[in-house]
Amino acid sequence: MDADHSLHRKLRLAFLGLALGPLLVAGLALSVGAYRLQDRQTEAIQRQVGRTIVSEFHNYLGILILELEEPLRRRGMAGLEADGFQSLADGLVAFEPMFIEVAVLDAQGGVLARASRFEPVIARGSAGIAALPEVTAAVIGQTAAIGGIRHYGPTNEPMIGLAVPSVDPRTGRPEGVILAQARFRRVWDLTQPLPGLPQLNSYILDHAGQVIAHRNPSVVLARTVRPMPETDGFGRGLGSDWVFSTSESFVIGGRRFVVVVEQPLLSALKLPGGAVVIVTLVLLFGGVGAWVLVRYSRRAILAPIDALAEAVRDVEAGDMSRRAPVESSDEIGALAMAFNSMTGRVAGLLNDLGESEEKFRLVMESASDALVVIDAEGKIVSWNGAATRMFGYQPAEIMGRNVSLLMPEHLRERHDQILARLRAKIDARIRTDPREQPAMRQDGTLFPVEVTLAGFSFKGNRFYSGIMRDISARKEAESNIRFLARHDALTGLANRVVLRERLDEILPQTGARQMHCLLFIDLDNFKLVNDVLGHSFGDRLLVEVAGRLRSIEGGHNIVCRHGGDEFILLAPDIRTRERAAELAERVLAVMGDAFAIDAQAIEVGCSIGISVAPDDGTDAETLIRKADIAMYKAKEKGRLGYQFFTAAMDHQMVERRELEKSLRRGLRDGEIFIHLQPKVRLGDGGVTGFEALARWQSAEHGLVPPVRFIPLAEECGLVGAIGDVVLRRTLETLAGWRAAGRKVLPVAVNLSAVQLGNPALAGEIGALLREFDLPPSLLELELTESMLMGDVDQVRAILFRLKDQGIRLSIDDFGTGYSSLSYLKRFPVDVLKIDRSFVTDLPGDPEGEALCLAIIHMAKALSLDVIAEGVETEAQSLFLARHGCDYAQGFHFARPVPVDEAAEYLPDARVSDRTV
């Protein structure tokens, strides 16, 4: 068999590996150790040779430098005459045979004397040798210096330049230099092969990598250059052959030299004869041992394994009586015994597995649905864990009992009938589609299930299996979906679908004396709540409103959320308009109390529009539209009230929509402009600034008063855009006054909640001030108290960024909102403005006087300025001035005027001198 041969091959390879592996490793280790020892010995020898050359090179050049320094130490150059310089040069050449030429130079490099062994002497004058690098190095460093290797023509040999400076001991300055050209062939001799080491090749490199000494002169004369060695070891040598090299670097006279000693690679790696013999013997004996081990393994291991493999094949073929022979007590024998034991156990298990009850039980227990099996009489014979979790019965409590126990009592008789019909069928194999029905837990609670029924026969008996799935969550979700389809998700009130269904139901049946009313309820200032306090706060407020409206819903009335902050209350069969009015009053009453949300008391009233069927319409769409129109009329009349629909309101609603369209066009076409109302100092009547007020000159409607278009802008979301226009017009006016050379006074601009909700507000205003080149001190921004009650951290950050720019901040209409000392301390406020409602009845109104005085004293305690709005009489002005109010504005001093007229107040004028 291929598998058997493969196993034999694997085992033979394994035995060979086990036998030869350690021996081969040992032989390799011996070889590596021998080579490593040889490598270290070679390296030590080469380094010793290199160091010897370095030492000899040092001694040779050191002696020559000492011979040049000796006459300078004795007498120096200062006392020598021209003949003395020549004598010094001649003497050095005559005394030292290694000197080819000697020159005496002055401190500037001029030649004072020159002597040559082979050329005539040049007594004086420049010979071009003053520019040699060794001369320069000696003069600058004031120490001996060595030059490069040069070729000397007359004798065709290399020479090396040596320069020794003479330094004046009194001044420390160089007096001159002795320059000598010394023979370098002596250094060549140092690179000759040593006795007994002919394989070593030594040479010397200068700092540029040029060979300057080699046993072969032609290598030096050819000016051979090789890369400077970086590390010792194996690599390419001077002749590009593989070598083992070592190097020794040294410096003499400011010059760096490198001695390199190379040995051919084969010579460096040559093993001693003894090491070769040892390795050979180890491998030979290892091979013999491996052959013996393989032969023994084949007889002791492979043969029993073959017998075991044959037994396995027989069992695999179905012969469960086959057993493997056990011929030894070793691991293979134990394996054969284990195989025989396993074969016996498998034979027994195969007989037991004829029954599939265990498999069926495992499947049932792993199911997530309840699986219940009953016999033909309806008694439970199988019950899984999911059924216990679903119904609460333990298997011991339910097994053998009738399955009708799991059903409500009113379904049990029907179940018995169905079971009887199933028993009457000849074929027991049935399967039903899933159906929904109620089930009952052990504690008596009912819940919906989805049941699928199937029938089967086993050993001649009929059984029926039921798969039951708890669908409570699905039913609850379906119920929620149905609820949300007809109710508002936030408040839980009925939605427009329910409202229209109810209207469609009752309107066609309205009799001659019947009357149905529809109240269209819209929250006042809800947009401001959303803008200032956030949409999450607004949602909670809507839930609270819905709760109050439910209190008056009654048994017949229907309250629904129409959308946003709009609610509709339908009161069928109201009979009279007076009853409708009473219902509206009840709504206003329950909405009149403040709402407490997050420890804040929020007062949100409402405006109500009422339409009555059949007088105002006989269909749902008409009644809702007319109630909506009446609601807007209620808002125009001052909010917190209600209005019945009248025929005239249709025309007014059309006008309002036209006005809204005109306002949008006016913003686009630049119809919004400003008037300025002066602010005066109560102490002397001097004008200290202005307040910018929006005006609209409509192309279709002419000059529209602010009381008409500002509320409209707030309702349709245009107040932020109007605020941006007013701010730009104000800055344009201030820039124009400055350009005309006029004295400019600060102007206050009202901010809307929409603008303050913009995190980039401070940056945008700063950009506008830079665009018009205006100092921030000319701009004052007015905010209402309610605008500070939203996201406090964000509002505070924005106000501090504005304050850091130098812009003044004031609280407008102070006292009418959520007056609080805490936020006055937290926000960088400069001015408090007393609302006109507190000023109107001054003096003589005790409550108004008390409020004004409290605001003035509080502002003074916080170092804030106070300005009163709506001052229209002299008595009001005197009262405020007498009690410490700083500034005032109102018709008593000046009405809002166009920009051109406002400019007349600029040059140190007093309002009292003008006609108001």
3-state SS, one letter per residue, for 206-242: CCCCEEEEECCHHHHHCCCECCCCCCCEEEECCCCCE
Rounded average pLDDT over 667-694: 93
pLDDT for the residue numbered 726: 94
Per the listing, tokens 């394996």 go with: 335
pLDDT for the residue numbered 100: 86
Cα 42 from Cα 199, distance rounded (Å):
11
pLDDT of 568 above 90: yes
362-401 confidence digits (pLDDT tens): 777 778 888 889 888 889 998 988 899 999 999 999 999 9
pLDDT of 431 above 70: yes
pLDDT of 914 above 50: no
Per the listing, tokens 């837990």 go with: 441
| Residue 559, burial from CB neighbour count under 10 angstroms (0-12, 13-18, 19+) | buried
- Order of all β-strands in the sheet with 370-375: 380-383, 370-375, 461-470, 446-458, 435-440
Lookup: tokens for 327: 């011929």
pLDDT of 720 above 70: yes
pLDDT for the residue numbered 896: 95
- Helix H, strand E, coil C: the string for 519-577 is EEEEECCHHHHHHHHCHHHHHHHHHHHHHHHHCCCCCCCEEEEEECCEEEEEECCCCCH
Q: Assign 245 to helix, strand or coil.
A: strand
- Range from 343-357, 446-460, 608-622, 821-835 carrying the lowest mean pLDDT: 343-357
Higher pLDDT, 709 or 824: 709
Lookup: tokens for 656: 């309002």
pLDDT for the residue numbered 321: 72
pLDDT of 734 above 90: yes
Cα 525 from Cα 784, distance rounded (Å):
14
If pLDDT is split at 50, 70 and 90, which confidence band does 8 have? low
Cα 694 from Cα 704, distance rounded (Å):
11
pTM for the predicted model, two decimal places: 0.44
- Alpha helix locations (H) across 685-790? 706-715, 719-739, 753-756, 761-771
Rounded average pLDDT over 206-235: 75
Higher pLDDT, 345 or 272: 345
Cα 318 from Cα 829, distance rounded (Å):
100
Cα 589 from Cα 833, distance rounded (Å):
32
Rounded average pLDDT over 160-169: 85
pLDDT for the residue numbered 45: 78
H or E segment and range at residue 414: helix 409-424
- Asked if residues 496 and 488 have their Cβ atoms less than 8 Å apart, the reply is no
If pLDDT is split at 50, 70 and 90, which confidence band does 542 have? very high
- Asked if residues 520 and 631 have their Cβ atoms less than 8 Å apart, the reply is yes
685-710 confidence digits (pLDDT tens): 899 999 999 999 998 889 999 988 88
pLDDT for the residue numbered 512: 61
Rounded average pLDDT over 582-608: 87
Rounded average pLDDT over 770-792: 85
31-81 confidence digits (pLDDT tens): 666 666 666 777 777 778 778 888 888 888 888 888 888 887 777 777 677
pLDDT for the residue numbered 672: 93
pLDDT for the residue numbered 909: 42
Higher pLDDT, 768 or 202: 768
Cα 718 from Cα 568, distance rounded (Å):
26
Angle at 553 between CA 550 and CA 559, to 5 degrees: 75
pLDDT for the residue numbered 122: 41
HSE of 836, CA atoms in CB hemisphere, 13 A: 9
Rounded average pLDDT over 207-217: 78
pLDDT for the residue numbered 345: 76
Residue 612: how many other CB atoms lie within 10 Å: 21
> Do 365-471 and 76-186 fall under one CATH topology?
yes
Per the listing, tokens 């092969």 go with: 193
pLDDT for the residue numbered 125: 42
pLDDT for the residue numbered 352: 63
The CATH number of 664-909 is 3.20.20.450
Cα 24 from Cα 284, distance rounded (Å):
10
Question: What is 76-186's CATH number, 3.30.450.20, 3.90.1560.10, 1.10.238.10, 1.10.240.10?
Answer: 3.30.450.20
Higher pLDDT, 276 or 895: 895
Cα 775 from Cα 158, distance rounded (Å):
86
Cα 326 from Cα 337, distance rounded (Å):
7
Cα 818 from Cα 594, distance rounded (Å):
12
pLDDT of 883 above 60: yes
Rounded average pLDDT over 7-36: 63
Rounded average pLDDT over 445-455: 89
- Asked if residues 783 and 809 have their Cβ atoms less than 8 Å apart, the reply is yes
Q: Assign 376 to helix, strand or coil.
A: coil
pLDDT for the residue numbered 674: 95
Rounded average pLDDT over 322-333: 71
pLDDT for the residue numbered 121: 43
If pLDDT is split at 50, 70 and 90, which confidence band does 916 have? very low
- Asked if residues 636 and 659 have their Cβ atoms less than 8 Å apart, the reply is no
Q: Assign 256 to helix, strand or coil.
A: strand
In terms of average pLDDT, the best of 635-644, 759-768, 825-834 is 759-768
pLDDT for the residue numbered 744: 92
- Asked if residues 142 and 157 have their Cβ atoms less than 8 Å apart, the reply is no
pLDDT of 585 above 60: yes
pLDDT of 891 above 90: yes
The CATH number of 487-645 is 3.30.70.270
77-124 confidence digits (pLDDT tens): 776 777 788 888 888 888 888 888 888 888 787 888 888 887 654 434
pLDDT for the residue numbered 727: 94
Rounded to the nearest integer, the mean pLDDT of the chain is: 81
Count of H helices and E strands in the chain? 30, 31
Q: Where are the domains of the chain?
A: 76-186, 365-471, 487-645, 664-909
DSSP code at position 270: P
**What is the CATH topology of the domain spanning 365-471?**
Beta-Lactamase (3.30.450)
HSE of 283, CA atoms in CB hemisphere, 13 A: 12
pLDDT for the residue numbered 14: 65
Cα 643 from Cα 626, distance rounded (Å):
11
- Range from 535-549, 599-613, 758-772, 783-797 carrying the lowest mean pLDDT: 783-797
The distance from CA 201 to its chain's CA centroid, rounded to whole angstroms, is 66
Rounded average pLDDT over 814-822: 62
> Could you give phi then psi for residue 817, rounded to 5 degrees?
-115, -125
The distance from CA 830 to its chain's CA centroid, rounded to whole angstroms, is 40
Cα 272 from Cα 261, distance rounded (Å):
22
117-153 confidence digits (pLDDT tens): 876 544 344 446 767 888 888 888 788 888 877 777 7
pLDDT for the residue numbered 13: 66
Per the listing, tokens 């592996």 go with: 21
